[in-house]
């Protein structure tokens, strides 16, 4: 009723998995802005389902996030035997890393969110495109040109919330970083982009995390309110796991 935030401290582990949006009735001892919980029940007398949000409305089912991967080659770039252009083999690899049934972006998000967030897809959601050669790492220009090439090839980009660009490595593109991602907002319907110079599941998952609104998972080893290492939480894909 007060809309104030209250911390719940369970004296024993919760009897069932609690998820964001669950309404629960707790019994315990209150101290300031916290409650030491001795018992609880999911739902209340006005909610038989036990699955309502904080404002009393029924929690919506999870909506899949749809992503397309554009594997980018550069027309006229000085490719050689040590750095060949991307081919269909790279497309197949990217599809497995993003959408495969083994370790992939989709399985990691699906498992860690208890099936509330995933990135479903297949090799049909990975396209090979070519853009004009430019070694200055103008990554927004690269992505704009890749979008144009994909649309000319008949790809409907409007069905994707996330656009992932696998750009050529630094020797070709001039992009010396591993990966980048726009900071988004979970629940937003806007389109967000991410870029990677490496065909790597962790790179894709990390940058898509930025698209969802997450920042880096840092550590404060001295508990002084100042982050010591920006990426040092190795339990989290937004750190360096």
How far CA 40 is from CA of 21, 37, 56, 206, in Å, comes to 15, 7, 18, 35
Residue 138 burial (10 A CB sphere; 0-12, 13-18, 19+): middle
Calpha distance 101→17 (Å, rounded): 25
Ranking 48-62, 64-78, 144-158, 186-200 by mean pLDDT, the lowest is 48-62
Q: Round to whole Å and give the CA distance between 121 and 68.
A: 8
Report yes or no: 155 and 68 within 8 Å, Cβ to Cβ.
Answer: yes
Long-range Cβ contacts of 231-239 (<8 Å, 24+ apart): 237/108, 237/202, 237/205, 237/206, 237/209, 238/206, 238/209, 238/214
Instruction: Say whether pLDDT at 223 is over 90.
Output: no
Tens of pLDDT, residues 156-206: 999 999 999 999 999 999 999 999 999 998 777 899 999 999 999 999 999
Mean of pLDDT over the chain: 88
pLDDT at residue 49 is higher than 60: no
**Mean pLDDT to the nearest integer, 62-81:** 93
The pTM score is 0.76
Percent of the chain past pLDDT 70, that is, above it, reads 91
- In the beta sheet, which residues pair with residue 52? 58
What's the confidence (pLDDT) of residue 61? 55
Separation CA 182–CA 175 (nearest Å): 16
| Whether 69 contacts 127, CB under 8 Å | yes
% of the chain surpassing 90 pLDDT: 62
């Amino acid at each position: 009723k007060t809309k104030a935030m209250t911390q719940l401290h369970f004296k024993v582990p919760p009897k069932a998995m609690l998820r964001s949006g669950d309404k629960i009735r707790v019994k315990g001892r209150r101290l300031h802005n916290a409650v030491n919980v001795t018992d609880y029940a999911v739902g209340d007398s006005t909610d038989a389902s036990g699955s309502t949000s904080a404002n009393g409305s029924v929690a919506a089912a999870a909506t899949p996030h749809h992503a397309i991967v554009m594997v980018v080659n550069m027309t006229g770039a000085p490719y050689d035997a040590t750095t060949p252009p991307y081919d269909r083999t790279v497309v197949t690899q990217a599809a497995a890393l993003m959408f495969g049934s083994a370790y992939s972006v989709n399985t990691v998000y699906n498992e860690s969110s208890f099936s509330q967030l995933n990135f479903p897809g297949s090799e049909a959601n990975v396209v090979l495109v070519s853009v004009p050669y430019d070694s200055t790492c103008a990554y927004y220009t690269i992505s704009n040109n890749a979008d144009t090439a994909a649309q000319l090839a008949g790809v409907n980009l409007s069905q994707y919330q996330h656009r992932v660009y696998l750009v050529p490595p630094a020797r070709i593109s001039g992009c010396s970083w591993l990966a980048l991602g726009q900071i988004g907002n979970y629940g937003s319907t806007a389109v967000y982009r991410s870029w990677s110079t490496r065909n790597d599941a962790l790179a894709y998952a990390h940058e898509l995390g930025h698209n969802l609104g997450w920042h880096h998972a840092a550590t404060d080893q001295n508990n002084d309110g100042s982050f010591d290492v920006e990426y040092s939480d190795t339990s989290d894909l937004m750190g360096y796991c």
